[in-house]
């Protein structure tokens, strides 16, 4: 069995930043990338809101540079997935998808969260070409254009309100005849002249030659007065929630009702000593690369202090 001082799970901004700090602290970090090397960010195209890139940067390029920086400080980066853990006693035991057994003194979990999609083939077809799950990340590209937001909860209302500051017109595609959002968010979107709410609507497809040019909609699907029509739009934003990638830790860590890892106060500490959480897997609120990177820094600093406390 291989013994590891600091094991990092995940290769997004949180994981790589944790690796940079852990490497500089001589913790000899080992990082398992997960299935999606580079994390959620690699699903977008240009990143314009990460400090240090005044002209924006290709998302894959940025994550590649973070990876190289982590390597520079001695991080052992391995492509693989952690499939089972045992946090009952130190050192903690983890098993990879190849069946390798690892024991780790400290663990930084940075497995991220996955945006929920409708499951349409067109969502994959136009990913990065008009389909997005992050208005804050990509809204800038749709200034003075027409977009649609799918969802009827607080997140969808927040995304629609944000986009209305940039876009000419924002449609909200809401499956139910009402918004699930809080009263204050309902009033905000209902009172915004740029936002039009399409109740009892389902998006069943997208169309366009070189990117999204419109959505195929169905009003009152399955009812006697069902109506199908096409809605011209330039961007299609999903706001139906995220699923944190934390199932493998469910038996050991305290999670909230959605599955996000609970941390202690504003620290990355979990309920298990020496196990820390960073990035979107522990952040249901912000879900931004810069916030994830900062939390990865905090997790590595805490891991270093924890190891020092044992000596």
Which residue numbers are catalytic?
134, 137-138
- Tokens read off for 92: 């903690």
Query: CA-CA distances (angstroms) from residue 108 to 7, 232, 302?
Result: 6, 45, 10
Residue 160's nearest CA partner among 181, 178, 183, 175 is 181
Residue 303's nearest CA partner among 15, 44, 58 is 15
Torsion of CA 283, 287, 293, 296, to 10 degrees: 20
First-to-last C-alpha distance (Å) of the chain? 23
Compute the distance between CA of residue 106 and CA of residue 247 in angstroms, rounded to an integer: 19
Residues 41/17, Cβ–Cβ less than 8 Å = no
């Amino acid at each position: 069995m291989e013994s590891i001082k600091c094991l990092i799970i995940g290769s997004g901004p949180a994981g790589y930043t944790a690796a940079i700090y852990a490497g500089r602290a001589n913790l000899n970090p080992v990082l398992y990338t997960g299935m999606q090397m580079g994390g959620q960010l690699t699903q977008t195209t240009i990143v314009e809101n990460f400090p240090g890139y005044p002209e924006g940067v290709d998302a894959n390029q940025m994550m590649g540079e973070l990876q190289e920086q982590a390597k520079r400080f001695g991080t052992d980066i391995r492509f693989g997935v952690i499939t089972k853990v045992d946090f009952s006693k130190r050192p903690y035991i983890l098993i990879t998808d190849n069946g390798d057994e690892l024991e780790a003194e400290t663990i930084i979990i940075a497995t991220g969260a996955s945006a929920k999609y409708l499951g349409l083939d067109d969502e994959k077809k136009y990913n990065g070409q008009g389909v997005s799950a992050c208005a804050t990340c990509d809204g800038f590209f749709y200034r003075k254009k027409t977009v649609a937001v799918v969802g009827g909860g607080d997140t969808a209302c927040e995304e629609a309100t944000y986009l209305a500051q940039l876009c000419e017109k924002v449609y909200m595609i809401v499956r139910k005849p009402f918004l699930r959002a809080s009263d204050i968010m309902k009033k905000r979107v209902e009172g915004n002249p740029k936002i039009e709410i399409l109740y009892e609507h389902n998006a069943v497809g997208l169309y366009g030659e070189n990117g999204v040019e419109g959505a195929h909609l169905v009003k009152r699907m399955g009812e006697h007065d069902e109506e199908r029509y096409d809605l011209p739009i330039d961007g299609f934003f999903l706001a139906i929630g995220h699923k944190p990638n934390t199932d493998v830790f469910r038996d050991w860590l305290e999670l909230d009702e959605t599955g996000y890892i609970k941390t202690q106060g504003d620290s990355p500490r979990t309920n298990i000593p020496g196990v820390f959480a960073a990035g979107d897997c522990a952040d249901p609120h912000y879900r931004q690369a810069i916030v994830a990177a900062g939390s990865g820094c905090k997790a590595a600093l805490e891991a270093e202090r924890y190891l020092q406390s044992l000596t």
